[in-house]
C-alpha cells in the first residue's frame, strides 16, 4: 500500500462467514460512503461490490477460521475497501468468465462476482496465495461531492 | 431478518406478478423460484417481477432469476422486470439479463407491454 493510503482514516471490521452477514459489511460500507458524500448510485454500487467480495470469500475461500477481514481506507477523493480471507487462495487465470448466453441455455449460472465488482468499482486488484486472498476495490468520488475531506 | 426475503405473488389477467423484498439473495431467490414454479404449473407463461422494494441483490439471487428466464425461454413465455433501482438496472445490463428479459419503469408499463403483444 502506498504512503497516501497509509495516511487515510481506517476502519476495520471482522465478520464471521455466516449466511447474510455480508449485509453487515454492506451496511458499514454504505454508512461510510454516505459520510463521504458519495451519491446514491455510488453508495449502492459500493454496497453491491462488497457483498460480492464477501460472498466469494464465504463460498470459495475454504478458510478454516471462517472469518472475513474488511478494511475501509477513507481518503479525500476515494474509498478503498480491502476484503481478506485466510483461506486457500486461488489462481485467477482459472476463473472462467461467465456468459449469459450459456447461462440461459442450461449452462453455468454462477461466477459473476468479479465481473460485477470490476464493473461497479473503479479499480479491483486481487492478491492471492496459500495465505489467503485480498480483494482491493477502489471507488473514486465524483467532483464536487466531498463532505468528509477533513 | 425474514422480512427482507419475503416474496408476494399476484395473479392478473393472463399474467402473474411476483414482488420481491429488500434483499434478493439465495433465500429470497429460492422462495421466488418456488412461487414462480407453482404459477408455471398452473399455466402462467407471462411474468412481471416488481422489484420496487428491492434495494440489494446478489449474484446468487440473480442466478435464480436466470433459471426462471431459461424456463420461460423453453416454454415461449415472457418475463418483464419493473421498478428497478439504478444499481439493479445497471447490474442486469452488465450481466446481459436485459437481452433475454425486458425492463419497464413501472408495473403499469409492464402490464401494457404484455397486453400489446398478447
For chain A, domain boundaries: 3-140
Reported as a single tens digit per residue, the pLDDT across A52-111 is: 999 999 999 999 999 999 999 999 999 999 999 999 999 999 989 999 999 999 999 999
Indicate whether B85 belongs to any domain: yes
Identity of the residue in A51, A100, A115 whose CB atom sits nearest the CB atom of B58: A51
Reported as a single tens digit per residue, the pLDDT across B13-40 is: 999 999 999 999 999 999 999 999 999 9
Average per-residue pLDDT for chain A: 92
Higher pLDDT, B92 or B2: B92
| Sign of torsion over alpha carbons A90, A96, A97, A103 | negative
Specify the DSSP element, H or E, that contains B70.
helix B59-75
| CB-CB under 8 Å, B63 with A44 | no
Write out chain A residues lying below 8 Å of B87, CB-based: 41, 44-45, 47-48, 120
Give the alpha-carbon dihedral of A120, A114, B85, A21, to 10 degrees: -110
Helix intervals (H) in chain A: 3-6, 22-35, 40-60, 100-103, 113-120
Write out chain B residues lying below 8 Å of A101, CB-based: 96
CA distance to partner chain A, nearest, from residue B13 (Å): 27
**Residues 37-96 in B contacting A (C-alpha not used; CB under 8 Å):** 55-60, 62-63, 66-67, 69-70, 73, 85-87, 90-91, 94-96
Number of separate domains in chain B = 1
Higher pLDDT, B51 or B118: B51
Average per-residue pLDDT for chain B: 94
Interface test with A, best of B2, B51, B57, B59 (most A CBs within 10 A): B59
What average pLDDT does range A26-38 have in this prediction? 96
Write out chain B residues lying below 8 Å of A104, CB-based: 66, 69-70, 73, 100
Write out chain A residues lying below 8 Å of B62, CB-based: 112
Q: Which residue from B minimizes the CA distance to A114? A: B59
Beta bridge partners of B46: B78
Name the percent of chain A lying above pLDDT 90.
87
Rounded CA-CA distance B68/A79 in Å is 36
What is A34-72 written as a DSSP string?
Answer: HHTT--HHHHHHHHHHHHHHHHHHHHH---TT-EEEEEE
pLDDT in the model for residue B6: 82
Side-chain half-sphere CA neighbours of B7 within 13 A: 20
pLDDT in the model for residue B5: 74
| CB-CB under 8 Å, A23 with B56 | yes
Instruction: For residue B41, give the 3-state DSSP assignment.
Output: helix
Indicate whether B83 belongs to any domain: yes
Indicate whether B79 belongs to any domain: yes
- CATH code matching the domain that covers A3-140, chosen among 3.40.50.1820, 3.40.50.2300, 3.30.565.10, 3.40.50.12780: 3.30.565.10
Identity of the residue in A44, A104, A110 whose CB atom sits nearest the CB atom of B69: A104
pLDDT in the model for residue A60: 95
What average pLDDT does range A43-48 have in this prediction? 97
Range of the domain at B72: 62-100
Least confident of A126-140, B3-17, B66-80, B102-116: B3-17
pLDDT in the model for residue A8: 74
pLDDT in the model for residue A147: 64
Say yes or no to pLDDT of A4 above 70: no
pLDDT in the model for residue B4: 66
Say yes or no to pLDDT of A3 above 50: no
Indicate whether B74 belongs to any domain: yes
Name the percent of chain A lying above pLDDT 70.
91
What average pLDDT does range A119-148 have in this prediction? 89
Specify the DSSP element, H or E, that contains A97.
none
Amino acid at each position: 500500500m502506498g504512503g497516501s493510503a497509509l495516511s487515510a482514516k481506517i476502519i476495520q471490521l471482522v465478520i464471521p462467514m455466516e449466511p447474510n452477514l455480508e449485509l453487515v459489511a454492506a451496511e458499514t460500507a454504505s454508512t461510510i460512503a454516505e459520510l463521504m458524500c458519495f451519491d446514491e448510485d455510488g453508495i449502492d454500487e459500493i454496497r453491491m461490490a462488497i457483498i460480492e467480495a464477501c460472498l466469494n470469500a464465504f463460498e470459495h475461500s475454504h478458510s478454516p477460521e471462517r472469518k472475513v477481514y474488511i478494511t475501509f481506507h477513507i481518503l479525500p477523493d476515494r474509498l478503498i475497501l480491502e476484503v481478506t480471507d485466510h483461506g486457500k487462495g486461488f489462481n485467477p487465470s482459472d476463473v472462467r468468465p461467465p456468459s449469459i448466453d450459456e447461462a440461459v441455455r442450461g449452462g453455468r449460472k454462477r461466477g459473476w462476482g468479479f465481473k460485477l465488482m470490476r464493473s461497479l468499482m473503479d479499480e479491483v486488484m486481487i492478491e492471492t496465495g496459500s495465505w489467503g486472498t485480498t480483494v482491493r476495490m477502489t471507488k473514486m468520488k465524483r467532483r464536487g461531492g466531498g463532505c468528509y475531506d477533513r | 431478518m425474514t422480512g427482507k426475503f419475503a416474496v408476494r405473488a399476484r395473479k392478473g389477467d393472463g399474467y402473474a406478478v411476483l414482488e420481491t423484498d429488500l434483499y434478493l439473495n439465495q433465500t429470497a431467490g429460492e422462495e421466488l423460484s418456488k412461487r414462480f414454479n407453482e404459477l408455471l404449473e398452473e399455466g402462467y407463461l407471462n411474468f412481471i417481477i416488481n422489484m420496487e422494494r428491492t434495494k440489494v441483490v446478489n449474484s446468487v439471487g440473480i442466478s435464480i432469476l436466470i433459471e426462471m428466464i431459461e424456463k420461460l425461454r423453453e416454454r415461449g413465455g415472457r418475463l418483464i422486470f419493473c421498478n428497478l433501482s439504478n444499481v439493479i438496472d445497471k447490474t442486469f445490463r452488465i450481466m446481459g439479463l436485459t437481452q433475454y428479459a425486458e425492463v419497464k419503469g413501472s408495473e403499469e408499463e409492464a402490464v401494457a407491454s404484455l397486453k400489446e403483444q398478447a
